[in-house]
Amino acid sequence: MSHIRRLLPSLNALVAFEAAVRCGTFANAARELGVTSPAVSRTIGRLELHLGMQLFKRTPMGAELTEQGGDLFAEVSKSFSNIERVLAGLRQNAQTKRRTLRISVSGAFATHWFMPRMNQFQALFPDVDIQWQLIIGPLDCPVNDADIAMRFDPKVDDRYRIFPLMPEILLPVRSPAFDFNSKQSQSGLNQVITLSGSQFRWADLYSVDVLTKIARELQFSDYNVVVQAALMGQGNAIGWLSVVSTLLANGSLVPSHPVVVSTGRSCNLVTSIKTDEWFIRDICDWIIDEYRRDVREINKAYEGLINEF
């Protein structure tokens, strides 16, 4: 750069020269550059004087390029085009650079916990797009290529970092519209909504005081549908706090009975040790903070129902 500066009176001289040739006249170049025609003429004159050669042949009909001027224009035009292309690419990258977050979670978590926060997430992380890897079934499968995975009691593995999220907590939940005292609800009072294949059953978790008699059972293989059925007032469901915390915090679901069971397992966020992107840890911290906020709201409504973690 310092060598070029010695060869030129100023870089503006090349800009004026390129514009004069491309626009056809000094007057047209002046309009494009926002200066006067004499200013363009003087700038090009200083360039010619500095180079010791004529770039334009002045005639009564205007200015014509000399052979040397044509050679210079060919190189300057090509260089300017290359610079323009690079600058446009850099600007586009700066404006559109986005990151993709691959997140491996249950469909129930995505639907009932994350979706209500999607606007908040997008405001906090506007350049992050989510690629969902939704799991129907136990959260004990391999993490694979996920950036963030929710898993229960993941095995210790040097390839991953583990961020404790919460203990695995279960409690019976129902819709607030499901009124125990109304005649309309009596037929469904002891109706339960269960997850087929789950290791946790009503009889194992709760005493007969919770549900004295199970009159009817709705069974689904997808926990997302279990929660949706509870929201629709179809009966009582076992609520995994990792899924229903927001629904309890905002009153969409209520505890059917103040019996909380801690299974002894833990729910964790797992990230790859190879992932050094700052936003991965920030998103994990955000999820953890939001869960703690949910628990505080639940405890305000139900007098310390959940032990804070």
Number of domains forming the structure of the chain: 2
What is the phi/psi pair of residue 135, to 5°? -115, 130
Residue with tokens 């961020």: 163
The pLDDT value recorded for residue 289 is 95
Do 157 and 294 sit in the same domain of this protein? yes
Mean pLDDT of 268-276: 83
The Cα–Cα gap between 278 and 275 comes to 9
Supply 90's token pair.
């850099």
Same domain, yes or no, for 134 and 23?
no
Domain membership flag for residue 307: no
Residue 308 is assigned to a structural domain of this protein = no
Last residue of a domain, one of 73, 96, 119: 96
Residue 27 lies in a domain: yes
Residues 30 and 121 grouped into a single domain: no
Q: Which of 31, 61, 96 is the last residue of a domain?
A: 96
User: Which residue did the predictor score with more confidence, 123 or 196?
Assistant: 123
| Pairing status of strand 261-272 against strand 148-152 | antiparallel
In this predicted structure, what is the pLDDT of residue 94?
Answer: 62
Higher-confidence residue: 288 or 154?
288
Domain CATH number, residue 90: 1.10.10.10
- Considering the domain architecture, whether residues 68 and 130 belong to the same structural domain is answered as no
What was the pLDDT predicted at 213?
Answer: 55
What range does the domain containing 19 cover?
Answer: 2-96
186 pLDDT above the threshold of 50: no
Residue 128 β-bridge partners: 99
- Asked whether residue 239 falls in the same domain as residue 146, the answer is yes
Q: What is the pTM of this model?
A: 0.66
Question: Among 207-211, 214-218, 279-283, where is mean pLDDT lowest?
Answer: 207-211
Indicate whether 139 and 278 sit together in one domain.
Answer: yes
- Whether 253 shows a pLDDT value over 70: the answer reads yes
Whether 309 is covered by a domain: the verdict is: no
User: What pLDDT, on a 0 to 100 scale, did the predictor assign at position 166?
Assistant: 92
Asked whether residue 54 is domain-assigned, the answer is yes
Higher pLDDT, 67 or 205: 67
Q: Is the residue at 224 inside a domain?
A: yes
CATH of the domain at 242: 3.40.190.290
Closest to 284 in 3D by CA, of 168, 142, 147: 147
Looking at the predicted structure, is the pLDDT value of residue 187 above 50?
no
269 and 178 Cβ atoms separated by less than 8 Å: no
